[in-house]
Structure 1
């Protein structure tokens, strides 16, 4: 049986149409030969999300985004159609979470399955939509306050620089330059002094070593003296000293109360008067001996030598 050219042409045209429809839907993420499930979700903004972007569950790609359309209620919300190839079952209370795939990549949809013993999601169900904060959004959230702080710091810095310029007039700048120059001279002198000290140390190195050895010997001797003091009966010595001080306090108390010879000498006025009188008479006797020595060198004579008128005077 011979097939005409018209039939062949019709078969080719129909085959082409079928392949075109199949290819078009396949490029949109729909496989007409596969029993995939379709789910819907709603977002207020899907910037970065395009058809054919992956749909994942726990990081595994299970489908694609097949269509994005506006919601027909007059709002600006968007309805995203999800084509899921996997037969993995999850609750109808699961969420469809929009997330960033990378720093410079687009966005994808992750189904967050819920295992709450509710009915399984069926093809055509609408899943609750949620948006995961992306890295760029988090960076913006962190950078915005930081940017405000940096701007405030820059403003304060600018004001501080303005104040510094007002304070540092020409005269102050000249004084500051002179001070820096003087400081440079001081540092140079300090370097020279440091070199002189180094030379002095090198020159007297032997003497310094000898001095340090003497210090070590003194420390050793002091350690030995300390050991000797530790080994002595310091307690007995302190007790003896306390006893001596107590006796001395007793003597002072007796003297204060007039007891004993020293106490009577300090407290008895009669003894003091007698001593004063005896002292006066002794003074007169010494004066008389000085004025009339002959009378006392002739004491063996039985004849009394009377005082002359001049001697009486």
Structure 2
């Protein structure tokens, strides 16, 4: 009977030992698998992103590349009128002073196609540290998968580009264009080389201050003349603006304009009177009687002059003492 009791107690102790061992292993696996430090004090930050891009709860958080916490739960929400995902960030207290109001959270990838994690940038030293339950802004996450369609499209265009290059090379080798002639025709190549040689000689002569262009480039006389001309024009314009000289008075003084306006008004008044038949000039122009009288006077005067030419003794008497 005592042997059976001892056997049962041994079985119980073995079972307890196995249970404790399995619980300890489960705890170790939980700690290692979730990148958590169960006995480290943490505080919570919150961020908002439009897409978590396969980020999982329990992924680790880094600050300047150092593991500093873990990702909490996700929750769909809205912020500033936009739908997105709210993420809780559990950050260890020892990193608190490094996370300030200018810090930002970014979802990154470990390698090209590795696990996702959150990187928090370091803030500035003179800024206030974020407190528990504060909000930290997030940078737009980089979605590598969104680049795949563009990469596929670019890959599809490569054969077309290669075909175009091949066609261009064929035209350069045997085509009728200028480049083909330069490559294949020795006469054209010699002409091109001669043109390059002439151009080199021209630039050399210009560098040596030879010819008109060389003097224009190296001599300062043209610049000095232009500078003097500009200064003289500036002085003239200043005098005109001040109303000095004839042109200045014409531009700045309103007296000439008023005189011209008065003269125009007087001329218009005279022309109106003449057209209305007022005054001697108006009557001469508009009345037939005055015209006829003037015509008769001119005829009589003409007859008198003719008579004076024929019979001057009737009009002039000469006495000799």
TM-score category, normalised to shorter length? 0.3 to 0.5
Structure number, greater radius of gyration: 1
Q: Tell me the TM-score normalised to structure 1 length.
A: 0.43
Q: Tell me the TM-score normalised to structure 2 length.
A: 0.42
